[in-house]
Structure 1
Amino acid sequence: DMGISDRPSWCPALAAALLAGGVFVASAAPAAADDPADLKAQYRRPNEIPFPAANPYSDAKAALGHTLFFDPRLSGSNTASCASCHNPALGWEDALPVATGDGAKALERASPTILNLAWAEPLMWDGRKDTLEDQATGPIEAAGEMNQPMASLAAELSAIPAYRRMFREAFGSETISGPAIAQALATFERTIVSNRAPFDRWIDGDDTAIDEQARQGFVLFNGKANCAACHSGWRFTDDSFHDIGLKSADIGRGAFLPDLPVMQHAFKTPTLRNIATREPFMHDGSAATLRDVLAHYDTGF
């Protein structure tokens, strides 16, 4: 119960607020709804993308990561790229209830968006990856996903002169390795940042950027509806894990924290950025529309 059981299951004002936020590329608890200046300040976008000291940004590295991300040779079958599950036209997801892996087999969970991952650690629905460098090659090597051993991929790419040149430009050496592939992919993924949306212009002081219904939705979102308890900050996520009562045998974060009852069936709070292009919703794709999401929080079903 999110404290909204006395309102209709579909709230146009709340939906308008969600859809106002949209595409470029652990927040404090929200301020009281009667303190609009402080509250809006908590949703202000950062000015720069953070890159780790161990993997600093370079144009050459980002360009290499971009090329790798869209290359189906990263899969064992040479038919699936990272973009197969993280399509830029679909909010960097795939519009499927659950992802499809090697041999067109359905996986257990939905493909999460890669928007704004530079700020999003830990990663994955269950938080099992600490960094983008750690996460980037996981799906490549997973037998059920892209099914490509890293040694085989490195040998395949090493036979391509253009790739040897790109690795030399990015890393100073034509040697192609798993860690270098991971660093390039992670660098590119950190550049995938939501564009400034009407919501951002409103936060920055343009009172005409969103309409009255969306402004009412913002008040609900941070007040009675209590959405901001989990979807806080400019990315609309607390980067934490919650059990929201979905009917699923998947225990999520609980698999890694078995002694914490609150983490059983808990999954990472997804960002709400670009929400209009990212149906269906939830870690298992069980909510087909935004209306279904709000109905779940309203009724518990």
Structure 2
Amino acid sequence: MSKRVALLGGVVLAAACSDEELVDGIFTQQQWVQIQELSPLPEPPLDPTNRYQRDPLAAALGHRLFFEAAYAGPLQVGDDGRNGGLGMPGDTGKIACASCHEGPWLIDLRTNPNNVSLGANIIPRNAASMVNVAYYSPWIENDGLLDSLWSEAMVDVEFDLGFNSSRLRLAHVIYERHREGYEAAFGSLDPALDPTHAEAARFPADARPGSPEWDAMTPEDQDHVTEIFVNFGKALHAYLDRLVSRDAPFDRYVAGETDAMSPAAKRGLQLFVGKAACVECHATPHFSDDDFHNTGLAATGPFISTEEQGRYDRIDFLLAHEFNSSSRWSDDRSTGRLDGVVKDEALIGTWRTKGLRHVAETAPYMHSGQFATLEEVVEFYDQGGHDEGFHGTKDEIIQPLNLTTDEKADLVEFLASLTGRELPPELLREPSD
């Protein structure tokens, strides 16, 4: 009898017999139903606000732009021999998306201290993995700053701590270095973006909204540059949509391969859906409910603000954002995802649930990057969060778990079983042609 048949047979037997019958000798029927809802991992959700999400031409352009550094503005913090800086203060063209998203899991392997990330300046976040990032829907970033992945791909360009750049710098680089790929996916670029063109003065070398150079442009030229900027974000989204890791030991186990997970990992899974109640928030195949919770975390660490209030602080930005899902740059303004979004004090101290796939490979943890290991994370939740020093009101579900030392180790073992196959190497390197 195959392992798959044996396991599925166990499920049937459990359903036919008394409540005391266990699936694989460990899971109740109710727990097994919950577990089956966590696997397999489907395709990333379609976002109607980006009609190019599954366009192969847009994805190919986004792949190239992920590794492009030429449009990056001047560094504010340089390399001091320890911090992982990318050059000297004032240097330009040094930062690409790939600068903070490296290795097989596309995380920051460079910045020191590694609870934050160093772009043009120090960003008080550790750069999150881009693998399976396309499953977050619709809220992007730990604090729900944005409501689409394409707009998230844009925000760092003009952020002074990120690329410290401008949409005009970006437009010129796309014209000079990626014109063929851009026009194949999105249509013609204005030839006056060529600095040798007779009308080149229409498009300054470096400008963004609020600058005198931008204000001097015609509305039509401003719109053309902003459209390039938006399509940059939508192309990157199309590329990120392809960065999917599946086939973790956990997935193989749920599919019927009974020895895909160790006994300790199975015990950890039983805790995950049972005593530890992790599944209350990590309840989908990408192990996030895409909602916001107050876990009682007192943020600490180098360069971390203790005053941040999570989702509450970001509502005003989200609703007024130039590129949100209700803006004219959205390909579907009728999604209604911003309906009912208000700045409610109940949101103080809440942060979006992080997905857990390949979590064992993506330390450090929490929005503050203050935990270096999964053991520390499990200990934090076992204690029921911190007793003081956090903002807002802790969620009722965050209670001491009273796990034993062995149970904590089993839970960590289960989390390690969520690491799927690495991405194809060609997706992780800069295209050569």
Query: For the superposition of Structure 1 and Structure 2, which TM-score range results when normalised by the shorter chain?
Result: 0.7 to 0.9
Answer yes or no: is the 8 Å Cα contact 1:243–1:262 preserved in 2.
Answer: no
- Which residue is 1:59 aligned to? 56
Cα 1:241/1:74, change in 2 over 3 Å = farther
Quote the offset at 1:132 in angstroms: 1.2
**Contact preservation (8 Å) 2:41, 2:286:** no
Q: 1:263 to 1:52 in 2, by over 3 A?
A: closer
Name the residue aligned to 2:376: 292
Partner of 1:28: none
1:179 paired to 2:175 = no
Deviations 1:88-134, CA, capped at 9 Å, x for gaps: 43x222152012121xx322222222232322121011112011121
In structure 1, distance between residues paired with 2:71 and 2:246 = 28
Q: Superposed, which structure 2 residues align to 1:208-287 within 5 Å?
A: 208-248=259-299, 249=306, 250-256=308-314, 260-287=344-371
* Residue type of the alignment partner of 1:295: E
Are 2:113 and 1:98 equivalent residues in the alignment?
A: no
SS in 1 for 2:61: helix
Q: Would you say 1:122 and 2:139 are equivalent positions? A: yes
Q: Is the 8 A contact 2:309 2:349 kept in 1?
A: yes
TM-score, reference length from structure 2? 0.58
Whole-angstrom distance in 1 between the partners of 2:374 and 2:41: 27
Residue in 1 aligned with 2:430? none
Q: Tell me the amino acid that sits aligned with residue 44 of structure 2.
A: I
How far residue 259 of structure 1 moved from its aligned partner, in angstroms, is 5.2
Greater radius of gyration (CA): 2
**Do the aligned partners of residues 261 and 224 (structure 1) sit closer, same or farther apart at CA in structure 2, a change above 3 Å counting?**
farther
* 2: CA distance, partners of 1:49 / 1:245: 30
Q: Which amino acid is the alignment partner of residue 86 of structure 1?
A: H
TM-score by length of 1: 0.82
- In structure 1, what is the equivalent of residue 411 of structure 2? none
Residue-by-residue CA offset, 1:158-185 (whole Å, 9 max, x unaligned)? 123xx11111222243457112111101
Secondary structure class of the residue paired with 1:137:
helix
SS of residue matched to 1:152: helix
Corresponding residue pairs, total: 265
The separation in 2 between residues aligned to 1:226 and 1:36, in whole angstroms, is 11
* Distance of 1:262 and 1:155 partners within structure 2: 44
How far residue 195 of structure 1 moved from its aligned partner, in angstroms, is 2.8
Listed one character per residue, the Cα deviations across residues 13-69 of structure 1 (whole Å, up to 9, x for unaligned) are: xxxxxxxxxxxxxxxxxxx95424412221122443333344231222111101101
Select between 141-150 and 54-63 the one with higher mean Cα deviation: 54-63
Q: What is the CA-CA distance between 1:197 and the residue it aligns to?
A: 0.9
Cα distance in 1, alignment partners of residues 292 and 255 from structure 2: 30
**Does 2:124 align with 1:108?**
yes
Superposed CA offset, 1:174-207 (max 9, x none)? 4571121111011111111123111111111211
**Contact residue 242 and residue 267 of structure 1 kept, 8 A:** yes
Q: Where does the alignment leave 5 or more consecutive residues of structure 1 unmatched?
A: 1-31
Kindly tell me: are residues 189 and 297 of structure 1, through their superposed partners in 2, closer, same or farther at Cα, counting changes over 3 Å?
same
Contact between 2:116 and 2:369, CA under 8 Å: does it hold in 1? yes
The answer for the alignment partner of 1:202 in structure 2 is 253
- Secondary structure, aligned partner of 2:118: coil
Larger RCO (CA under 8 A, 6+ residues apart): 1
Residue pair 2:71, 2:169 contacting (<8 A) in 1 also: no
Q: Identity over aligned residues, as a percent?
A: 31
Task: For residue 40 of structure 2, give the secondary structure of its aligned residue in structure 1.
Answer: coil
Distance 2:254 2:72 in 1: 42
Instruction: State the Cα deviation string for residues 200-234 of structure 1 (Å, max 9, x = none).
Output: 11111211211111111101011101111111221
SS at match of 1:170: helix
